[in-house]
């Protein structure tokens, strides 16, 4: 197992015959460890062993069961042995990658959300008129998921027909009841623009929090505090925030800038 800082997840891999197979990226170290164990148990049940170089005869090889390297006790997998006997190795790999707590580096547990290839932010995306539209880049998965949900509610409020398979919200419908009048009064383009501005403001607000924390630690170490620049709305505070981030100045952010709401 290995920790991937960029994705903030644990990666499980399995080495067999000199080839490393990716078993999935997991929320917890234990989830990744158990994925490795299940593959080791599968190999044991199907008569596969791990070769060990050495022995007599200059080139002779010995082998050892993959279960010698289990992270947990073999008995903990007793209830899964019949399942592991009945599937192929490729099927197990796919099952582990799809298992709860495992997903690819760019995927998300929320609908309409993915991790951006660069920068570590989360992008909300929405299909409209057979075209995929970006709704903005957010500092957290949850904020991006709310952006996707608001666009779904916008479609409902404005009579836009959608495939039922792509019309399921990430959160409760009641969470958006107080926003219906506002959503009904916007055009598609204005809705997209507003969500993108909110994504920028929210991502910057998270950076503000991080920089303030660094400034507080530095101030305490020096025996004094530091002032701050107030971050206002999505547009008014963006320029001052960028400037302060570049110059390492401490910032003061409003709570509203980091909330998923704001309508």
pLDDT tens figures, 75-118: 898 899 999 999 999 989 888 887 755 555 556 778 888 887 66
* Residue in the structure block whose two tokens are 């390492």: 248
CB atoms within 10 A of CB 99: 16
Number of domains in the chain: 2
Structure confidence at residue 159 (pLDDT): 86
CA distance 144 to 124: 5
Q: Pick from 48, 66, 98: which residue ends a domain? A: 98
Report the percentage of the chain scoring pLDDT > 90: 22
Q: Is residue 107 part of a domain?
A: no
Name which residue leads in pLDDT, 127 or 146.
146
- Written in H, E and C, the secondary structure of 3-20 is EECCCCEEEEEEEECCEE
The model scores a pTM over 0.85: no
pLDDT tens figures, 206-247: 777 767 766 665 555 555 544 444 444 444 445 554 554 454
- Strands 113-115, 229-231: parallel, antiparallel or unpaired by DSSP? unpaired
Q: Is residue 17 part of a domain?
A: yes
CA distance 262 to 236: 15
Name which residue leads in pLDDT, 132 or 101.
132
Name which residue leads in pLDDT, 230 or 136.
136
The pair of three-digit structure tokens given for residue 207, joined into one six-digit string: 């950076």
Q: Domain residues for 136?
A: 113-258
Q: Are residues 205 and 77 in the same domain?
A: no
Top mean pLDDT of 10-14, 25-29, 148-152, 200-204 is at: 148-152
Structure confidence at residue 174 (pLDDT): 92
Please check the confidence at residue 167 and state whether its pLDDT lies above 60. yes
Q: Are residues 80 and 137 in the same domain?
A: no
Cβ pair 22, 10 in contact under 8 A: no
Cβ pair 171, 146 in contact under 8 A: yes
pLDDT tens figures, 48-59: 887 765 544 444
Q: Is residue 106 part of a domain?
A: no
Cβ pair 54, 62 in contact under 8 A: yes
Q: Are residues 88 and 117 in the same domain?
A: no
Structure confidence at residue 188 (pLDDT): 92
């Amino acid at each position: 197992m290995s920790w991937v800082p960029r994705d903030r997840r644990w990666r499980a891999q399995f080495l067999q015959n000199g080839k490393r197979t990716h078993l999935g990226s997991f929320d917890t170290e234990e989830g990744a460890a158990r994925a490795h164990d299940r593959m080791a148990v599968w190999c044991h049940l199907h008569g596969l062993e791990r070769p060990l170089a050495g022995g007599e005869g200059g080139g002779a090889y010995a082998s050892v069961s993959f279960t010698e390297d289990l992270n947990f006790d073999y008995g903990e997998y007793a209830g899964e042995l019949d399942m592991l006997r009945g599937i192929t190795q490729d099927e197990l790999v796919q099952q582990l990658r799809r298992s709860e707590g495992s997903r690819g580096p760019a995927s998300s547990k929320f609908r309409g959300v993915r991790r951006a290839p660069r920068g570590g932010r989360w992008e909300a995306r929405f299909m409209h008129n057979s075209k995929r539209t970006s709704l903005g880049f957010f500092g957290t998965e949850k904020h991006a998921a709310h952006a996707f949900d608001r666009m779904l509610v916008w479609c409902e409020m404005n009579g836009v027909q959608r495939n039922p398979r792509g019309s399921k919200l990430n959160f409760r419908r009641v969470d958006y009841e107080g926003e219906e009048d506002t959503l009904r009064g916007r055009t598609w383009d204005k809705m997209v623009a507003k969500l993108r501005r909110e994504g920028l403001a929210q991502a910057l607000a998270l950076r503000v929090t991080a920089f303030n924390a660094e400034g507080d630690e530095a101030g305490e170490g020096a025996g004094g505090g530091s002032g701050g620049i107030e971050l206002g709305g999505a547009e008014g505070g963006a320029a001052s925030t960028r400037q302060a981030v570049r110059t390492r100045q401490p910032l003061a952010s409003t709570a509203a800038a980091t909330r998923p709401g704001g309508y």
